[in-house]
Amino acid sequence: MFILEELNKKNDEISNLSLSQVEELRKENRDREIAFSASLVESGVEYIGPFTTEITLTYKKVFTNIGNAYNPVTGIFTAPLKGAYMFRISVYGDGPTAATAAIFKNGDQVVIAHAYHNVNSLASSNGVVLVLEVGDVVYVRLWSGRRLIDNQDSHNTFSGFLLFPLREQEL
């Protein structure tokens, strides 16, 4: 009988230990939950551009902003922790004005999405995986002389999420 009681006691300790370990992992991973997705306009139809200079786009209709790293007022994503992140943009316009926008990291252009036709709808998309340090910024800029059109269908989007965190020595 004594052995059975001890075995049950050990099983309870293992169960409690496992539950506390699971809770600790949940707390640890909450800091790693980073994802956002947004489109340019909340309602109606809006033409953005053309402008004589590049502008940073502000994606106002936020679908998801887990971790609050994306700012819909400025259009800027700020990395809250070091890691590998995936970013994606889609652009939509109407010819004959081209639709061209680019993802920037800390002021440097990384990739572009570009579409041009003489008439009718234009659409393009692109994406990139970036290694970011804490405080690095990622945003989208509309090229000068280009125009986007958006409406409630959310054709123009900017999305990003943390793939996995990196330790200081990793790159």
Does residue 77 have a pLDDT over 70?
yes
pTM: 0.81
Checking 17-20 for CB contacts under 8 A at 24+ apart, the result is none
Q: Do 123 and 74 contact (CB within 8 A), yes or no?
A: no
Average confidence score pLDDT of the chain = 89
Q: Residue 104 CB: number of other CB atoms within 10 A?
A: 18
Q: Give 171's pLDDT tier (boundaries 50, 70, 90).
A: low
Mean of the pLDDT values across residues 12-22?
63
> What distance in Å separates the CA atoms of residue 154 and residue 12, rounded to the nearest whole number?
52
Q: Spell out the residues 6+ positions from residue 104 whose beta carbon is closer than 8 angstroms to its own.
A: 110, 138, 139, 140, 141
List, for residues 21-65, the tens digit of each pLDDT value: 656 545 555 567 999 999 999 999 999 999 999 999 999 999 999
Tokens 């947004």 locate to 38
Q: Spell out the residues 6+ positions from residue 110 whose beta carbon is closer than 8 angstroms to its own.
A: 102, 103, 104, 128, 130
Phi and psi at residue 60, to the nearest 5°? -90, -30
